[in-house]
Amino acid sequence: MKSSEIVKYLPYQKPFLFVDEVIEISENGVIGNYTFQQNEFFYKGHFKNNPITPGVILTETMAQIGVVCLGIYLLKDKISISKKPQIALTSQQVDFYLPVLPNEKITVISTKEYFRFNKLMCKVQMMNAKNKLVCRGSISGMIVTK
């Protein structure tokens, strides 16, 4: 399954799609990126005259790239146009170290901890363009096809 196919199967659309590209993917993990554009909907109110990307959006970005894209790849033999993935996500712990500003490109690196009984658990981290750690944590999700 090619990276462009994985993005096609994501159950998101703008303004809540936070995946620009899947750079690398295997049975064990995924690397992808996203650039937070100046006109993102959440910058209007977070924070007044000093926009930064909310932590919940950073967590969502890590989940979309690090768990959902990987889950789609792992279920590639069961997914089709008529059998799309259904996803429920949870984050166990995410620690934040640096802010992400408008027009900043980030890279998410995810390593599979386990995938059994349709539950995928990953260690994820987000790096900025200077290769500095923005945040990291554990995110899991149930991924099934219907």
Which residues form the catalytic set?
Answer: 46
Q: How far apart are CA 14 and CA 18, in angstroms?
A: 8
Q: How far apart are CA 113 and CA 15, in angstroms?
A: 30
Q: Tell me the two tokens of residue 20.
A: 């620009």
Q: Tell me the two tokens of residue 138.
A: 């554990």
Q: Which helix (H) or strand (E) holds 74?
A: helix 70-74
CA of 3: how far to CAs of 6, 50, 115, in Å?
5, 34, 20
